[in-house]
Structure 1
Amino acid sequence: MSDESGTQELGITESKEHNPGEWYAEVVQKAGLADYAPMGGFIVTRPRGYALWERLQDHLDGWFKETGVQNAYFPLFIPESYLEREKDIVEGFDPEVAWVTHGGHDELDERLAVRPTSESIIAPFMAEWVRSYRDLPLRLNQWCSVVRWEATETKPFFRTKEFLWQEGHTAHATGEDAWDETMTRLGQYERLYEEVMAIPGMTGRKPEHDKFPGADTTTTIEALMPDGKSVQAGTSHHLGTSFAEAFDITYTDEDEEERIAHTTSWGLSWRALGALIMTHSDDQGLVIPPKLAPTQVVIVPIWQSDTEDEVKEYAADLAAELDEEFRVELDDRDERNPGFKFNEHELNGVPLRIEIGPNEVDDEEATLVHRPDGESEVADREAITESVQDALDTVYAKLYANAEETLENNIREAHGRGEILGTLGKHGGYVKTGWCGDEACEAEIKDQIAAEIVMLPLEEDYEPVHDTCGVCGEESVETAYFAKSY
């Protein structure tokens, strides 16, 4: 947004509470995270936005490798004949597949799909690489982009035709081993959201009609946004033997018998960044939890002409010490006043600001200001490293507590079609109700209010919250969580 002189307004002008869609788009652009690409449905990820993705990636990638995963890379293009070998994949993704038909001026002998997901190109190589039980488990992961040609309005990080993600693919000797793998990855996604992103997640599984094409079970972690919508924050799929049968992933067991492998796949995309921005940010701009923040601490010296040298020297010494433990920026620009700097760093989401003026120098102290709420505290210079760590821990705790309160206050029980629709219409959030297992009952709610079953409890023998289905009144077999979703 620009004023008449053509200069961009620094601050956020939209309200998160009243115009969350416009507010979100403004935060993404003004905090320097992304721009819209010239082709509809695509975005340009700017350095500050990509830095967030890299930090998120570092956490997950480390955990993956600690649990036996190796990174690899497979081609962007998948031959049509490969894609067709698993019929559920073809049927599930066909409306969203982008096809390459020409190479230069020449028409290709076989169409190539731009990967919507990579099972169909990875599974054939897993079949080649697995011969014996000694080759199992095989755990592969790739960080890449995929393309799904959805005809939806672009919402940076939430909804784009091309998006960044990681996709893990594993093969195991038994179904039990594959299920353990599925749950391990779901647990790592939950850990990422809770420990790193300060967002409480709800883990469960998708209903049969909404699981990954070809999967036995799709598990999910769902995160509730402040606007009452749910985000599918990551999924981990127990694929059973369907892909192994389609692509002949077999192994010879200890008795020299040929067995079919059991496979999994699991993925988390940059939708996590959308959830991060939407959950924590406010009308001043971006808010980032300390573990993900590219800059964790900004030091702003405040001086007059007669105190400039001593204040700058004190601030520089402080920055040098803290730089050994934290990601620190010393903002000693002459051309900007302190108020401008405060607003700019708030807009960019720096978790902690340290203000240094003549009083702090004289008293050998530092003033620490928390980004989420502007709370300030005074720390002794001698214990500054410990004080900054405590302050960052407090910032994380505040963010998590706010998100947890939002979640806890927005899970409601409802029974009966009218009550379900009324509760979702008035409050949003999650509505818990009994479900008979019939997709038609979900469709009845979806047609009325664009809400769907986003999650079922993981335990299949979980006792339903109601004896009867909240929509049709027939016997209940599940507890379903309805919500509007991104």
Structure 2
Amino acid sequence: MENSGLDSLSIKDRADGGKLKETKQKKPSQGGTKNAPKKKEVKKETGLGLTYKKDENFGEWYSEVVVNGEMIEYYDVSGCYILRPWAFSIWDILKDFFDPEIKKMGIKNCYFPLFVSSNVLEKEKDHIEGFAPEVAWVTKSGQSELDVPIAIRPTSETVMYPYYSKWIRGHRDLPLKLNQWCNVVRWEFSNPTPFIRSREFLWQEGHTAFATKAEADEEVLQILELYRRIYEEYLAVPVIKGRKSELEKFAGGLYTTTVEAFVPNTGRGIQGATSHCLGQNFAKMFEINFENEKGEKGMVWQNSWAYTTRSIGVMIMVHGDDKGLVLPPKVASLQVIVIPVPYKDADTQGILDACSETVAALRAAGFRAEADLRENYSPGWKYSQWEMKGVPLRIEIGPRDLANNQVRAVRRDTSAKMDVPRHKLVEDVGTILDDIQQSMYQTAKQKRDACIVVVRTWEEFMDALAAKKMILAPWCDEMEVEKDVKARTKGEMGAAKSLCTPFDQMPLPEGTLCFASGKPAKIWTYWGRSY
């Protein structure tokens, strides 16, 4: 359900199965010599740093971070990626929020097959036209050619709706509200990128049918608000709620609403999630009719909506830094890492016991905490590794902390350090994690807002585009004008297009002209390059 007309990325997939030749993780070298007495060796603090900086080479930085941060592993099919537990746990947490919320709305989970027959897939011409270049086809079984090729679902409207027409007969069968958690395949050829643009990805896709347009309209916005909450409350990423243009809406739908994010480092917008009102177009194609209370025949009104594992990539792009990932506490599978710092002649066992007690206390209070008690790595090496993985809070316990009955807490987002009395541990850790979550959101919002530029003329628009800004401009809301903007801005960096028309509209003074056509403007719309 994500719009398929995306501009190409600067972040490139690895044709060799994703081996990062320039950025291979090095194993820390071991100390000691052949003749030294046998003992547990402390590995040197090496091999954990990133080769590239976020501000200098964003594409290579991102490719490095997702691998070194143990989010993904490259697979031997280009454009497909292994989601490691560190990443999949975030998907689980988002699902644990979203799934109960839609169930409160009366939406039920189900599962439809992965395969689609060609005659059904191609039934809705406008719809399939948007996906046709990306559809993967099964053409053989063993060594035998199939009589009729079978498609792998790029989205499930055409998979599900023939059965909606079978299940819906009268008004008592409505509303029909289903959702499935599944994978889809879109055979991208423009620079596949982990999370952002992959050939197979995970999503939830909701498909609902109503007796009236008013019911459908209401649900579109209810779902969009849940998507806003996913980004802002969980991923700490600011988004703009709005409506897609006619050119950018979901193919075959009536209108598309979206939550749009922005990546300041690249100056590109990114579609976070979409909630579509499909109108009655699919109902007409698939004959999804019903009889109302008065015995009158009518067609249903339908919605479809989805968010994907792309959301994880957006989070990484917005928050990551030159040390690696920076994870918001709400979605981090590990919120607190506890590290012993035993100096020479210290009460090592007392420090280890304090670490274990700290973890036990935090877990009992509901925090996701672990202790890193590995003896063959130095504390500094552990600091670097857990910073790379983005753990929100590090707790260090050394001899001085043991003597003072305290711990040293270090924030991942700001590197700020503070001493916390052990008797206040649970209370203070909760406060710190809450502050990290809010601070990450506010910092990201300030950076995003600093990139928004209001323009009124074509010259101002082009200057802002060259400066990699998110542009708010008055527009006449005509498809041909948007096509013209795309044509006039096409270049190596990709063309500019409308990102969304925000629901929260600034006043539009009478006589304001469209920035691109000079015609009377009707709305304020965000523009820019996008992923």
TM range (shorter): over 0.9
Q: Which letter maps to 1:213?
A: A
Compute the displacement of 1:440 (Å): 3.5
Q: Is the 8 A contact 2:202 2:308 kept in 1?
A: yes
SS of the aligned residue for 1:188 comes to helix
Q: Is the 8 A contact 1:464 1:477 kept in 2?
A: no
Taking structure 1 as reference, are residues 464 and 210 closer, same or farther at Cα in structure 2, changes over 3 Å only? farther
Compute the displacement of 1:4 (Å): 9.0
SS of the aligned residue for 1:233 comes to strand
Task: Provide Cα deviations, 1:398-451, integer angstroms capped at 9, x if missing partner.
Answer: 10111110121111111222221111102x231111212233332343332521
Which position in structure 1 is the counterpart of 2:86?
48
Q: Which letter maps to 1:442?
A: E
SS of the aligned residue for 1:155 comes to coil
Q: Does 1:418 align with 2:459?
A: yes
Q: Which letter maps to 1:409?
A: A
SS of the aligned residue for 1:48 comes to helix
Map 1:322-401 to 2 at 5 A. Answer: 322-324=362-364, 325-401=366-442
Which position in structure 1 is the counterpart of 2:262?
224
Q: Which moved more, 1:290-299 or 1:152-161?
A: 152-161
Distance in 2, matches of 1:400 and 1:466, equals 37
Q: Is the 8 A contact 2:456 2:473 kept in 1?
A: yes
SS of the aligned residue for 2:530 comes to coil
SS of the aligned residue for 2:236 comes to coil
SS of the aligned residue for 1:210 comes to coil
Q: Is the 8 A contact 1:421 1:445 kept in 2?
A: no
- Comparing both chains, which one has the higher relative contact order based on Cα–Cα distances under 8 Å and sequence gaps of 6 or more? 2
From 291, 298, 302, the counterpart of 1:252: 291
Runs (4+) off by over 6 Å: 3-8, 459-462
Map 1:159-308 to 2 at 5 A. Answer: 159-227=197-265, 228-304=267-343, 305-308=345-348
Q: Does 1:79 align with 2:106?
A: no
Distance in 2, matches of 1:287 and 1:220, equals 25
Distance in 1, matches of 2:252 and 2:233, equals 32
Q: Is the 8 A contact 1:464 1:478 kept in 2?
A: no
Taking structure 1 as reference, are residues 316 and 176 closer, same or farther at Cα in structure 2, changes over 3 Å only? same
Q: Is the 8 A contact 1:137 1:173 kept in 2?
A: yes
Compute the displacement of 1:262 (Å): 0.5
Compute the displacement of 1:387 (Å): 0.8
Distance in 2, matches of 1:337 and 1:97, equals 50
Taking structure 1 as reference, are residues 408 and 220 closer, same or farther at Cα in structure 2, changes over 3 Å only? same
Q: Does 1:154 align with 2:192?
A: yes
SS of the aligned residue for 2:208 comes to strand
Q: Which moved more, 1:347-356 or 1:359-368?
A: 359-368
Q: Which letter maps to 1:334?
A: E
Distance in 2, matches of 1:360 and 1:5, equals 31
Distance in 2, matches of 1:155 and 1:431, equals 25
Q: Is the 8 A contact 2:336 2:368 kept in 1?
A: yes
Q: Is the 8 A contact 1:165 1:268 kept in 2?
A: yes
Q: Which letter maps to 2:167?
A: W
Distance in 2, matches of 1:357 and 1:306, equals 8
Q: Which moved more, 1:357-366 or 1:163-172?
A: 357-366
Give me the identity figure in percent.
Answer: 39
Which position in structure 1 is the counterpart of 2:525?
480
Which position in structure 1 is the counterpart of 2:37?
none
Q: Which letter maps to 1:441?
A: V
Distance in 2, matches of 1:466 and 1:187, equals 33
Q: How many aligned residue pairs are there? A: 485
Distance in 2, matches of 1:82 and 1:184, equals 30
TM-score normalised according to structure 1 size: 0.95
Compute the displacement of 1:104 (Å): 2.5
Q: Does 1:438 align with 2:489?
A: no
Q: Which letter maps to 1:424?
A: L
Q: Which letter maps to 1:359?
A: R
Distance in 2, matches of 1:269 and 1:56, equals 10
Compute the displacement of 1:66 (Å): 2.2
Distance in 2, matches of 1:91 and 1:2, equals 41
Q: Is the 8 A contact 1:167 1:267 kept in 2?
A: yes
Which position in structure 1 is the counterpart of 2:59?
21
SS of the aligned residue for 2:338 comes to strand
Q: Is the 8 A contact 1:12 1:284 kept in 2?
A: yes
